[in-house]
Chains A and B, each alone.
Chain A
């Protein structure tokens, strides 16, 4: 198991098999619960699955999992062996399902490469309590005699022709099942010696294993073998750590057994302590786990409800009617749907901490491999983002960090020569910015190399205008183009040339974007901008001709009426408007989407200033329809596939049942 590959492979197998086992377990329990009884087969099966999980987990050193599986195994062992007459099946199911959930969480942690650090203490306690209850109910059954260690029943008679030996064997500390090891030895010895007695006498109970561990296994043998012969036989015992063999004078034999009379006291103490522990009350459960698909469903339903609500309250039939009471009720409804929506959103929000912490491992592994000392600094890891989005940003983050470590940060000697701290720093920072979350990946390395980027882009034919005319920002943005990679040699971690464009694409999928900023010699910063959530956005509905468009409020800066005198034209004849000393290009939506509208004069319609990635522009629309929360739906595949969705990010249903297209401001600006 020493080499890494094998461990990895075993971990994979462990995760796979345990996941399957847990799924199977869940199925068995749910079936049993439906039938309202656990039949013998299912009890057997649960016992076996728990047993397997226990063994595998212990092998992989996932102690909390192993401990929990062990407790559950004990529980079902008890059920199987004793078959108690009355079982509270629902309680039993609850316990087991709770255990399953704990295991799932731990497994997920393991899958994510995080330490399986969950504590099942309370759950263990509840299971133990339940076993105790069950045991009490079945007190009619014979009490297990705990007289593991007593005195020798009959003093050993000294025989003339053979000597009596006393042997105390201590087994290696972690060999386990000392009582059975002792039993194996006894079985062997019985053939070789004339008479044999041993302490503790009862080798069946686990208590005796404990005793042997503490006090050793004491044997009294009568044999005509010599001291040396016996010593040789005993020394062969597996996992023997220490052997004390002595030849006894006949008289001592009878008394010898009494020596260990203090043993039961220790056991008594042990038993009392266990009992006390059992009495600790198990608190009630404050957190439940819910399947993600249910949450998604809930989210969808709430979305539909938001639409339905506006369908009702903005119903065209109500137009022009004086409906005071209706308005009042509608406001109440609106308030509740709003709260409901907030709640559903907050349920889906997950802190970025897990994703961020995953990076520790990456940085650690890479610093070893690349022989660069790097410190990972995490800031704002408690920032919350929609669960679906988190799934999409783990890979881009990993990629950016890899790049920073591989290309960005210099070697130690180089850094020292430059007067930088020898240890490089990568900062991963998350912060809220309106309805977006910004994630910054910052390194203090050498920064992006403009000359190299240009050279590379030229070689790949990616330049669309002369290099001399490009701003710094534009040059840096080149790294996001498909097929761009400045590093010629492919390293293990980065530089396969499928890098940054994949990052950009991944982010676009969730409606985010990535920007880069770099200072030569001081490092570079990638800024990922991701929406807080995907499903419901606050938006402004606007009208162009007969069509309705939806603009995310987050990207709207202001709305204004144009004054003719501030209108400018650039050399291409494109319209620009000067607003407080800054020129903004105007995009006429009716032209952009080729729509018929009577309003083509700028002063008749309205201009909406939108901003994306620090670029701004003015959208010319006929009129504003109003602000509304809309549920984002993806564009149908037949529209997306025809590549005619430029400038559109999705669509939504409006209150009157009509469809509105959601504008993709970033797309419009490009």
Chain B
């Protein structure tokens, strides 16, 4: 009985506030737009019995999904989101790996402090961290002032409101997600493996490529997914740093919903976004599973 209550309470909560809403989105994405509040035509009417159910299914169509393919705004936004997420993930890996490597090689008594320094930004507001780059990257911002002052450039660079700013923002905010899994993989590594590789004739660089990189692979993969998956649906960073040039699907969805008030299309956008996300999520789960098996 107690076990039943233990299971039932969180189960019911998640059913009501996670699964049901999601089914509603799915249903609305299959409905027609209507200029009312709520702005879509009503739905399943049980009072009409079987006929009502049939009418409901007849009312459903893939019109909104077809619409997504006809207007190139949407598929361009999907492609652009994927591209930005991919490049940003690669950049985050490039920046994050040396930091994780440095942490793993640091003396034992430094490591808790280094860990805290990596985690601390994660506890501070995401919005503020993205915002802090607006002042740095703008035309009259601190970076341009600094570079002009050094005489490295004669004209201020335009960085804010370009994809470059979005990449910087993503690398900055998601860096801890890349560093931590790689660090934990590197930290677990047995140092004598590198000595063995050297003993067998490897240079240090070669030993790094043949031993360290393959052994931190699970950490690299986990870190990449932890950056890639949330980046695809990212809204705050492209809105604040990307300007009108940067097309990302999270932003399109937001605008479709709040500005155009086209809920069925917004629903369809969301459903397609989730379908896109399923592949990396499944791959990520498999990587985690593999790692757990290796450890166990």
- Decide whether A and B are members of one complex: no
A residues sitting closer than 8 Å to B (CB atoms) are none
